[in-house]
Chain A
């Protein structure tokens, strides 16, 4: 969006009162300081309107309602926005519900009005009035952008602190597991490499023979249960997807009174497969019990390879796969956490918004808003600067919100919601990209894999408040989510691992993990999750509608909070 009119000259608020652009002392918040400058700007706006309309305006006194310009804006239907003293409140209300795109929509409507106003008086309102309104709007818009930037800085700082703490947990636990518990040994073995001749490949064996035997037995059962679960879920999912794709696009008419035959057949098949839901429920319980058995052996890391093993696997294969999965992380412990510094804000550097008094001649940020602009920069620069990881690790952000580190009753809570929605969209778009994606995912996965492992090492600390007293479903989906996240990131980190760990015909963990991902968004959601909803979510997660449902559930939880906060307006 570009400015169309020149900024109206106006007295600037006293800089000594406002302070400079450096971080504010704790006793005076940024919001307090902005409040002061906004009050000054409102007075200036009133004077401008009074001058334009040739009416008297006394200090502190409001103009009559009719003196303020208004325009239609398309948000929840078409509404009339009055550009008056309450503009900031109006913008923040729209931002809370619609995010920055809502604020930008208002800007575009006003810009259109100003453009019209340059040509002729609009609706009896003079051109000068519209110029004053535009200048006031830009000022207020930038003020809100500054506050959102402030919220993003707070989120980044807290995320960085949390990540550093979690990475250190992972580093210590991984080293202990490698040496003391699994007692893994890595040796290089010479094998024939075809045209390349003999090549050296690493082999992994567990020296802890007793644990290896026990794990083999437990994993054999777990892989069997997983295969049964896979088969049932996949069958129902396939039928549902086919029905979705073959569903008639039009309602029955006189010429075509009945649904297509193919669709009717699919519906019959669905009725038959839906009867299998009972079996899915039993298979789910069996799968969970086998996974829990592995965890009870104090060896949660073994869960990493459940999806990579086929029924009938050998013990040596299990040890090799486990060694490969862990070596990547074990050998890179020193790298973990490097480059993340809570004191150095990338947000501040990348969103250099000036305080509004310095810049009310143009909009500080476009339709993408501070959140979109920041995610774009973070995605582009992560490969060269690991500090951006704090802005990109979605799970950490959700954990902060759930633990109360990001307070619901704060601007940071609102910013968190809109930021994570933006992040989900842009990360998905990045997943769809082929070119240039490898460097990003390698960088991203370094931290993400370690963080997922950290949760796996300390499931009690992170998950106990969630699962205590809840049904087994809660445990299952959260464990699956943790394991699958780690597997996914390890796969990104080492392509060769990806081939081994994630087979094309198994999706149990990924499937359950997606449900876990949904549940991790809200503690109260998982605490009250019924088996009926769980099965629905499992089937959705296996289909093509996962992302829209995830975003809808994020919005649902957020709106429930906001409803309480804004309940009586």
Chain B
């Protein structure tokens, strides 16, 4: 029975093995190792050309075709649903279509060939669904209002503890902190990353919580961030890991050498040392947002206990149909 079709890398390796073996038989001395092509070339023209066969690749006219298809599809979706483009961060269907395209590009959708896409469709759909849900949650006005209320309450808590010089104010390492200054207004932070060293000793950044409500300490010196509300957003299937993930939120920060986040209204991210991340030890500040299959379209709060950490679990009764319809625009089945 014939073997499967080789990937390009496998084919090159097979040819290289043959050639090097033949050369070794001819030349009885070790050849120079050879200089690799500058890595900058690696994502260049040749690779793009190879992807010519990927009919789903986005650049050039195909992107326009996809955009047109998405616009038409979105119009239908929104006509049948009561959700508005602004719930997903777009003022108009056209603007939303642009947002979608950016999301598609972030999943490197265009880098897959049609065959690879079929093989990896399930995983890619999951990634895309997660991002759609995150956008939906971040732009859902009612939920954001409640999260903001929670953050305000938490801010009052931090201000009180600061005034009292309470040992209940701790950093990411769990050590009591002594601060001077005033906590500023509540601000939302997205694109939260933890920079930590991998096994090879090089720094790499890992995605942290999906959404943060924070307060920046108004004082001289390195920035200090008061952690008010941390929000994790998960689909129904991924929500099983919500508890453990939230439970170790603080230790994830502890493992990092630096935490990066983008504060709403800023153009550049801020970098904070974990010892300048400030938590209150006596109040609930972690939230998980997920979906429920209940028919009511109101969200509600509930609490659950996991890994010893108490957090607030928010189950949104969003009809996931809208998300699936959007997915089908990108991933035809």
- How far, in Å, is A61 (CB) from chain B's closest CB? 4
Nearest CB in chain B to that of A43: its residue: B55
Considering only residues 20-39 of chain B, those with a C-beta below 8 Å from chain A are 20, 22-23, 26-37, 39
Docked-complex contact A88 and B53, CB < 8 angstroms:
yes
> Residues 266-291 of chain B: 1 if any A CB is under 8 Å from the residue's CB, otherwise 0?
00000000000000000000000000
Give the interface centre of A85, A414, A563, A565 by most chain B CB atoms within 10 Å.
A565
Give the size range of B's interface with the partner.
35 or more
Q: Does A431 contact B (CB under 8 A)?
A: no
Binds B, one of A76-84, A190-198, A443-451: A76-84
Kindly state the separation between the CA atoms of A548 and B37 in the bound complex, as whole angstroms: 25
Contact of B8 among A38, A529, A535, A566 (CB under 8 A): A566
Docked-complex contact A39 and B62, CB < 8 angstroms:
yes
Docked-complex contact A42 and B55, CB < 8 angstroms:
yes
Q: Does A561 contact B (CB under 8 A)?
A: yes
Docked-complex contact B332 and A407, CB < 8 angstroms:
no
Contact of A524 among B20, B34, B49 (CB under 8 A): B34
Q: Does A557 contact B (CB under 8 A)?
A: yes
Docked-complex contact B19 and A559, CB < 8 angstroms:
yes
Other than the known A36-B61, A60-B69, A552-B19, what 7 A-B pairs have Cβ atoms closer than 8 Å? Answer: A42-B55, A85-B115, A414-B46, A533-B31, A552-B23, A556-B23, A564-B36
Kindly state the separation between the CA atoms of A162 and B54 in the bound complex, as whole angstroms: 36
Docked-complex contact B36 and A82, CB < 8 angstroms:
no
Docked-complex contact B114 and A62, CB < 8 angstroms:
yes
Kindly state the separation between the CA atoms of A65 and B114 in the bound complex, as whole angstroms: 11
Chain B residues in 8 Å Cβ range of A559: 12, 15-16, 19
Docked-complex contact B113 and A89, CB < 8 angstroms:
yes
Kindly state the separation between the CA atoms of A566 and B30 in the bound complex, as whole angstroms: 25
17 A-B residue pairings within 8 Å (CB atoms): A32-B60, A38-B52, A86-B53, A92-B50, A92-B53, A93-B7, A93-B50, A522-B34, A530-B29, A532-B30, A533-B30, A540-B27, A549-B26, A552-B22, A559-B12, A560-B35, A563-B36
Nearest CB in chain A to that of B46: its residue: A409
Considering only residues 66-98 of chain A, those with a C-beta below 8 Å from chain B are 72-73, 75-82, 84-94, 96-98
Q: Does B42 contact A (CB under 8 A)?
A: yes
Question: Nearest 5 CB-CB pairs, A to B?
Answer: A88-B53, A528-B32, A89-B53, A524-B35, A72-B2
Kindly state the separation between the CA atoms of A276 and B53 in the bound complex, as whole angstroms: 57
Docked-complex contact B49 and A31, CB < 8 angstroms:
yes
Kindly state the separation between the CA atoms of A72 and B5 in the bound complex, as whole angstroms: 9
> Residues 533-564 of chain A: 1 if any B CB is under 8 Å from the residue's CB, otherwise 0?
10111001000010011001101110111111
Residues of A within 8 A of B (CB): 31-32, 34-36, 38-39, 42, 58, 60-62, 65, 72-73, 75-82, 84-94, 96-98, 147, 407-411, 413-414, 522, 524-525, 527-530, 532-533, 535-537, 540, 545, 548-549, 552-553, 555-557, 559-569
Give the interface centre of B32, B49, B51 by most chain A CB atoms within 10 Å.
B49
Chain B residues in 8 Å Cβ range of A562: 12
Kindly state the separation between the CA atoms of A76 and B54 in the bound complex, as whole angstroms: 23
Kindly state the separation between the CA atoms of A34 and B51 in the bound complex, as whole angstroms: 12
Chain B residues in 8 Å Cβ range of A84: 114-115
Nearest CB in chain B to that of A534: its residue: B29
Nearest CB in chain B to that of A40: its residue: B55
Kindly state the separation between the CA atoms of A503 and B99 in the bound complex, as whole angstroms: 76
Docked-complex contact B55 and A38, CB < 8 angstroms:
yes
- How far, in Å, is A529 (CB) from chain B's closest CB? 7
Docked-complex contact A79 and B2, CB < 8 angstroms:
yes
Docked-complex contact B41 and A556, CB < 8 angstroms:
no
Docked-complex contact B3 and A86, CB < 8 angstroms:
no
Q: Does B4 contact A (CB under 8 A)?
A: yes
Q: Does B238 contact A (CB under 8 A)?
A: no
Chain A residues in 8 Å Cβ range of B39: 564
Chain B residues in 8 Å Cβ range of A38: 52-53, 55
Kindly state the separation between the CA atoms of A90 and B247 in the bound complex, as whole angstroms: 47
Docked-complex contact B12 and A86, CB < 8 angstroms:
no
Kindly state the separation between the CA atoms of A522 and B34 in the bound complex, as whole angstroms: 9
- How far, in Å, is B128 (CB) from chain A's closest CB? 17
Residues of B within 8 A of A (CB): 2-16, 19-20, 22-23, 26-37, 39, 41-42, 44-47, 49-55, 60-62, 69, 113-115, 118, 332-333
Report whether over half of chain A's contact residues are helix, strand or loop; otherwise say mixed.
helix
Chain A residues in 8 Å Cβ range of B20: 556
Docked-complex contact B114 and A569, CB < 8 angstroms:
no
Contact of B26 among A58, A548, A566 (CB under 8 A): A548
Contact of A540 among B8, B16, B26, B41 (CB under 8 A): B26
Kindly state the separation between the CA atoms of A566 and B41 in the bound complex, as whole angstroms: 10
Kindly state the separation between the CA atoms of A97 and B5 in the bound complex, as whole angstroms: 14
- How far, in Å, is B12 (CB) from chain A's closest CB? 5
Q: A35-B52, A79-B4, A89-B113 are in contact. Are A536 and B29 (CB under 8 A)?
A: yes
Kindly state the separation between the CA atoms of A450 and B23 in the bound complex, as whole angstroms: 33
Docked-complex contact B11 and A93, CB < 8 angstroms:
yes
Kindly state the separation between the CA atoms of A197 and B1 in the bound complex, as whole angstroms: 80
Docked-complex contact A530 and B54, CB < 8 angstroms:
no
Docked-complex contact A409 and B41, CB < 8 angstroms:
yes
Docked-complex contact B53 and A85, CB < 8 angstroms:
yes
Kindly state the separation between the CA atoms of A86 and B2 in the bound complex, as whole angstroms: 19
Contact of B32 among A147, A407, A524 (CB under 8 A): A524
Chain A residues in 8 Å Cβ range of B26: 540, 545, 548-549, 552
Kindly state the separation between the CA atoms of A38 and B60 in the bound complex, as whole angstroms: 14
Docked-complex contact A86 and B115, CB < 8 angstroms:
yes
Chain B residues in 8 Å Cβ range of A408: 37, 41, 46
Kindly state the separation between the CA atoms of A507 and B257 in the bound complex, as whole angstroms: 66
Docked-complex contact A569 and B9, CB < 8 angstroms:
yes
Docked-complex contact B35 and A536, CB < 8 angstroms:
no
Kindly state the separation between the CA atoms of A528 and B31 in the bound complex, as whole angstroms: 9
Nearest CB in chain B to that of A41: its residue: B55
Kindly state the separation between the CA atoms of A486 and B14 in the bound complex, as whole angstroms: 39
Kindly state the separation between the CA atoms of A411 and B48 in the bound complex, as whole angstroms: 10
Docked-complex contact B32 and A525, CB < 8 angstroms:
yes
Kindly state the separation between the CA atoms of A560 and B127 in the bound complex, as whole angstroms: 35
Give the interface centre of B7, B36, B53, B114 by most chain A CB atoms within 10 Å.
B53
Chain A residues in 8 Å Cβ range of B12: 96-97, 559, 562-563, 566
Nearest CB in chain B to that of A76: its residue: B14
Kindly state the separation between the CA atoms of A563 and B41 in the bound complex, as whole angstroms: 12
- How far, in Å, is B228 (CB) from chain A's closest CB? 41
- How far, in Å, is B6 (CB) from chain A's closest CB? 6
Docked-complex contact B5 and A90, CB < 8 angstroms:
yes
Chain A residues in 8 Å Cβ range of B8: 93, 96-97, 566, 569
Docked-complex contact B332 and A61, CB < 8 angstroms:
yes
- How far, in Å, is A81 (CB) from chain B's closest CB? 6
Nearest CB in chain B to that of A42: its residue: B55
Docked-complex contact A35 and B60, CB < 8 angstroms:
yes
Nearest CB in chain B to that of A61: its residue: B332
Chain A residues in 8 Å Cβ range of B55: 38-39, 42, 85
